[in-house]
Chains A and B, each alone.
Chain A
Amino acid sequence: MGEAVVAVVEAKDRFGLTWQPALAAGILANLDRIDVVEVIAEEQFSASSRATRALETLAQHAPLLVHGVALGPASTAPVQTPRLERLSRLIDRVEPAFWSEHLACVRAGDIEIGHLAAAPRTEATIEATVANLSRAASVVGSRPMVENISTLMDPPASDRSEVEWISSVIAASGCDLLLDLHNVHANGLNFGFDPIDYLDRLDSKRIGAIHLAGGCWIDGAGDERRYLDDHLHDVPDPVYDLLVEVGARVRRPLTVILERDGRFPPMSDLLWQLDRARAALAQGRLRAERDGAATRMSNEA
């Protein structure tokens, strides 16, 4: 067995799915092929006691991750204390491997936007986001991983690129990055940047987890359209290509989650997509090993 293969095996990457009631039976029947399960925090806050017991049972069989979608730290407003306290209780109960949240604004004033909005990318929003993440970490007891979001609109009043803004938040907050590759792909299509350049500009040591998903084009006014991250379609080929690139850049073990929120295909299709993700990440890690070996040989020559 070659040195490169050993490195791939030792990386201990984990692959899993987001918990959905419609997928529950399939997930429980295939835990030999699913290393980790991500649960959406806010769905657990309103879950019945039966659903809560099911989650606690699941936690005995597979490592869990808690993923928040409604904290909204990318805002000038402080994150809401009751939300943090509920999150903290959930984390105490299920003891996830880590928890995560989106770098998004979800409310302002007394207005609930309804989903994840991109904050204007300025120094002020970096400072506000870092303060919110610090407060969240102190209430919950651990720092979240923070996720890049997709957006259909370039946020107005921004004075820097998305990757510059995210890099600054990560550097100042101490939070690692949950890198959503489909969101990078979607924003690259919508705003004309190169996803590979985006990856090159991130600090690869700070990437701790990966999200994969699918989406579709939606029509706007005139001939214009945007690519929507809808979690209702299969992972497209360019996202697997990005996962190869991540494997070539990141040395630490990664947790890779396939997000699917509806229009569920057979479980065998989702497992096949997970296998494809495993192969893509391994391909990237092998490439890094070979490039490293070639560089060492070149230096020695």
Chain B
Amino acid sequence: MRPEFETFLARLYTDAPLRTRFLAAPREEGERQGLTVEECAALERIDRVGLELSARSFAHKRALKASGRRARSWWNFLFRY
């Protein structure tokens, strides 16, 4: 697997507008991103329901981490040990 393909998957998980464009036309979006013919073909067969649910789950995790960081930051500011 090429790093470019891995990065594109990560973008699909985290970039909602890209994901919308991709789901409307997977091959065209893959080609636009410079992926190979084989990679585009694999993406045409992607598990669409799984992709949307994964993206939702990852977004939830990122939000939890961000809120945890904010909470820790305030805690550390208020109670420096």
Q: How far is the CA of A124 from the CA of B57 in the complex (A)?
A: 27
Residue A105 CB within 8 A of the other chain = yes
- A114, chain B: closest CB distance, angstroms: 4
Fill in one digit per residue for A177-195: 1 if any B CB lies within 8 Å of its CB, else 0. 0000000000000100000
* Residues in A neighbouring B7, C-beta threshold 8 A: 108-109, 111
B6–A112 contact, CB under 8 A?
A: no
Q: CB-CB < 8 A to B61: which residues of A? A: 114-115
A48 close to B14 (CB less than 8 A): no
Contact (Cβ within 8 A) A157 B54: no
| Contact assessment for B3 and A111 in the assembled complex, using a CB-CB cutoff below 8 Å | no
Q: With A122-B1, A156-B45, A157-B42 as given contacts, are A114 and B9 in contact (CB-CB < 8 Å)?
A: no
Residues of chain B within 8 A (CB-CB) of A220 are 49-50, 52-53
B70 at the interface (CB under 8 A from A): no
Interface residue? A151 (CB, 8 A): yes
B49 near A77 with CB under 8 A, answer: no
Interface size class of A (residues with CB under 8 A): 35 or more
User: Taking the complex as formed, is B32 at the interface, i.e. its CB lies under 8 A from any CB of chain A?
Assistant: no
Asked if B53 and A114 make an inter-chain contact with CB atoms under 8 angstroms apart, the answer reads no
Contacts A49-B81, A156-B9 known; A76 to B1 CB distance under 8 Å?
Answer: yes
User: Counting CB contacts under 8 A, is A6 at the interface?
Assistant: no
Q: Which residues of A contact B75 (CB under 8 A)?
A: 48
> What mask results when residues 59 to 75 of chain B are scored 1 for a CB within 8 Å of chain A, else 0?
10110010001001001
A233 in contact (CB, < 8 A)? no
Query: Chain A nearest CB: distance from B72 CB in Å?
Result: 6
Enumerate chain A residues within 8 angstroms of B65, measured Cβ to Cβ: 114
**Interchain CA distance A75-B38 in the complex, whole Å:** 19
Give A119 to B13 CA distance when docked, in angstroms.
Answer: 13
Chain B contact residues, majority secondary structure: helix
Query: Contact: B3 with A77, CB < 8 Å?
Result: yes
The minimal Cβ–Cβ distance linking B24 to chain A, given in whole angstroms, is 14
- Contact status A228-B1, CB under 8 Å: no
- The answer to whether the Cβ of A218 comes within 8 Å of any Cβ in the partner chain is yes
What per-residue 1/0 map shows which CB atoms of A61-79 lie under 8 Å from chain B? 0000000000000011100
Residue A125 at the chain B interface, CB threshold 8 Å = yes
Asked if B52 contacts A221 (CB within 8 A), the reply is: yes
B1-19 interface with A by 8 A CB criterion? 1-3, 5-7, 9-11, 13-14
Shortest beta-carbon distance, B16 to chain A, in Å? Answer: 13
Task: Given A113-B13, A117-B10, A122-B1, decide whether A152 and B57 contact each other with a Cβ distance below 8 A.
Answer: yes
> How does the 8 Å CB contact mask read for A39-68 relative to B, with 1 for contact and 0 for none?
000000010111000000000000000000
Interface residues of B (CB under 8 A from A): 1-3, 5-7, 9-11, 13-14, 38-39, 42-43, 45-54, 57-59, 61-62, 65, 69, 72, 75-76, 79, 81
Chain A residues engaging chain B, CB cutoff 8 angstroms: 46, 48-50, 75-77, 105, 107-109, 111-115, 117, 119-120, 122, 124-125, 128, 151-157, 190, 218, 220-222, 224, 226, 228
5 contacts between A and B (CB under 8 A): A48-B76, A113-B13, A156-B42, A156-B45, A221-B48
